[in-house]
């Protein structure tokens, strides 16, 4: 005859489960994982959505620090906040994707040896990311852009650039051969102090 599940069994199970959860949280914190990392989200996907176009990039460096705010104190330029998510065509929002970010400063110069205006982060439990930066200056012959390298371990790596909304970039986007409307950020808000924009990265997954 099966043994009855007693109150002592319930307490023991609860303590073990709580200890396991605590250890997971400590481990996640030690790795600087975002809140809720590892909790998969499964929203419906729209199969008609087009993947984000890839672009050949220069300037990537694997030493980018883990941070969402890639500006240092005193960095000149207008504030630019970008929010969005990494989304698969078939599997929905993708938590735990690595996003490397780098860009030019307000004068159009890219730091080739240090970590200025560079950062790396993981998407959270809902596949979301955020970047706090400044409006990049234009490199000669190019429209202002923010470079992204998105990596889903064992599945995909996408190198691409996202461009300022047309309302901010003016005619610069259309003059750049690398520009594609699918790579344009969407303007969310614009004040004298800052620009807020959104961009979702769509992967063929």
pLDDT band at 45 (very low <50, low <70, confident <90, very high): low
pLDDT at 47: 61
Predicted TM-score (pTM) above 0.95:
no
How long a stretch of residues is the chain? Answer: 205
* CATH of segment(s) 79-203: 2.60.130.10
Rounded Cα–Cα distance for residues 61 and 113 (Å): 9
Residue 63 or residue 2, greater confidence: 63
Over residues 117-133, the mean pLDDT reads: 96
> Which of 3-7, 45-49, 155-159 shows the lowest per-residue confidence on average (mean pLDDT)?
3-7
Count other C-beta atoms under 10 Å from residue 99's C-beta.
22
| Residue ranges with strand state E in the chain | 79-88, 92-93, 98-103, 118-122, 128-134, 145-152, 156-163, 186-190, 194-198, 201-203
Report the share of the chain in percent with pLDDT over 70. 77
pLDDT at 46: 65
pLDDT tens, residue by residue, 80-110: 999 999 999 887 899 999 999 999 999 999 9
Rounded Cα–Cα distance for residues 98 and 129 (Å): 10
Rounded Cα–Cα distance for residues 144 and 162 (Å): 9
124 with 159: CB under 8 angstroms? Answer: no
pLDDT band at 137 (very low <50, low <70, confident <90, very high): very high
For the four alpha carbons of 40, 99, 132 and 183, in that order, the dihedral sign comes to: negative
pLDDT band at 162 (very low <50, low <70, confident <90, very high): very high
Over residues 119-128, the mean pLDDT reads: 96
Number of H helices, E strands in the chain: 2, 10
pLDDT band at 194 (very low <50, low <70, confident <90, very high): very high
């Amino acid at each position: 005859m099966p043994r009855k599940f007693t109150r002592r069994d319930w307490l023991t199970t609860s303590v073990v489960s709580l200890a396991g959860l605590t250890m997971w949280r400590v481990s996640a914190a030690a790795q600087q994982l975002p809140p809720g990392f590892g909790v998969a989200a499964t929203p419906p996907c729209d199969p008609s959505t087009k993947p984000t176009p890839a672009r050949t990039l220069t300037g990537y460096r694997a030493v980018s620090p883990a941070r969402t705010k890639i500006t240092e104190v005193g960095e000149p330029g207008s504030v630019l906040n970008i929010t969005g998510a990494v989304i698969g065509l078939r599997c929905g929002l993708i938590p735990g994707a690595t996003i490397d970010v780098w860009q030019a400063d307000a004068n159009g110069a890219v730091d080739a040896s240090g970590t200025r205006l560079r950062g790396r982060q993981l998407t959270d439990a809902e596949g979301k990311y955020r970047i706090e930066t400044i409006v990049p200056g234009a490199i000669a012959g190019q429209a202002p852009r923010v470079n992204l390298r998105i990596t889903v371990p064992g599945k995909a790596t996408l190198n691409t650039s996202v461009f300022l909304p047309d309302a901010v970039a003016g005619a610069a986007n259309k003059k750049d051969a690398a520009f594609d409307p699918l790579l344009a950020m969407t303007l969310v808000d614009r004040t004298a102090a800052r620009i807020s924009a959104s961009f979702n990265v769509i992967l063929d997954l």
